[in-house]
């Protein structure tokens, strides 16, 4: 697991960065006329949950993220999710405690804030994988992603996907070049309509002053657009990129809508 999230929240923060429950970094950042709340899930090697020590989103992470989002929403602050999460916490203890329920609490907090009209922006600086991204970032009304080395978005890690599909990792990589939904490359993922802006960075783990200024400008724009955009996520299917990459999905949804609504 990288330390990209910590590096970027430190670079963007207008004041002190606080660590909450060991695995959540919280800081405030001036974005134009707004003071936004930055949230980032990071590694916690001392976590009592063994499967959540390398930046995964587990029981504790989901609960503290949900609480932090609700607190920011109560104060009327835009929320920026700084995303570098390898997955949700795959563990028997986490599943026994109801990981699906607490992940849903984080999802509900983000979605509820967005539906209430609060600007919610995701900044993908590293990995955005599986339930970790679902709980922290995917519910944003505006998504900014780094187009740089090591930035990837997918529903499952490569090795896990290879085992499930009985393919080699190399086969999955080749399939990703043919079909965007199977790709781990962030630029290919952006063609599906989920991403509002790609920002080029030379080294996502080492922000430069120029790159920080560029990213800050992208976040200011993102907050403004999230404030004006529809509160639901219909814009992802309405995006120009989605018209080609998700044409079948759009047609299927239209037929379901015609038949059932």
Amino acid 1: pLDDT: 47
Cβ within 8 Å of residue 213, ≥6 positions away? none
Q: Is the pTM of this model over 0.85?
A: yes
Residue with tokens 């802006």: 197
Cβ within 8 Å of residue 102, ≥6 positions away? 59, 62, 63, 66
Domain encompassing residue 241: 4-260
Cβ within 8 Å of residue 160, ≥6 positions away? none
Q: Among 159, 153, 190, 186, which residue's Cα sits nearest to residue 172?
A: 159
pLDDT digits (tens, 9 = 90+) for 28-83: 999 999 999 999 999 999 999 999 999 999 999 999 999 999 999 999 999 999 99
Name the CA radius of gyration of the chain, rounded.
18
Pairwise pLDDT comparison (193 vs 179), residue with the higher score: 193
Number of domains forming the structure of the chain: 1
Local confidence band at 88 (pLDDT 50, 70, 90 cut-offs): very high
> In this structure, what CATH number is given to the domain that contains residue 152?
3.90.226.10
45 burial class (0-12, 13-18, 19+ CB within 10 angstroms)? exposed
pLDDT digits (tens, 9 = 90+) for 130-179: 999 999 999 999 999 999 888 999 887 778 887 888 888 888 888 777 77
């Amino acid at each position: 697991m990288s330390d990209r999230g910590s590096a970027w929240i430190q670079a963007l923060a207008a004041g002190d960065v606080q660590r909450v429950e060991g695995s959540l970094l919280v800081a405030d950042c001036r974005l134009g006329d707004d003071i936004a709340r930055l949230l980032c899930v990071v590694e916690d090697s001392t976590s009592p949950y063994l499967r959540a020590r390398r930046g995964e989103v587990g029981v504790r992470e989901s609960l503290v993220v949900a609480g932090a989002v609700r607190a920011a929403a109560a104060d009327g602050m835009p929320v920026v999710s700084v995303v570098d999460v390898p997955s949700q916490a795959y563990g028997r203890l986490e599943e026994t405690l109801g990981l699906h329920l607490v992940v849903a609490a984080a999802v509900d907090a983000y979605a509820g804030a967005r539906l209430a009209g609060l600007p919610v922006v995701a900044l993908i600086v590293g990995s955005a994988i599986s339930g970790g991204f679902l709980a922290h970032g995917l519910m944003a009304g505006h998504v900014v992603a780094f187009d740089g080395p090591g930035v990837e978005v997918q529903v499952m890690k490569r090795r896990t996907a290879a085992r499930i599909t009985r393919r080699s990792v190399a086969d999955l990589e080749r399939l990703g070049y043919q079909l965007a939904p199977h790709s781990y490359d962030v630029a290919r993922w952006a063609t599906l309509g989920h991403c509002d802006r790609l920002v080029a960075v030379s080294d996502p783990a080492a922000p430069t002053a120029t790159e920080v200024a560029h990213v800050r400008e992208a976040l200011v724009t993102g907050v403004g657009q999230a404030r004006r955009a529809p509160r639901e996520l219909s814009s992802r299917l309405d995006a120009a990129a989605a018209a080609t990459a998700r044409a079948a999905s759009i047609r299927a949804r239209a037929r379901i809508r015609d038949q059932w609504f």
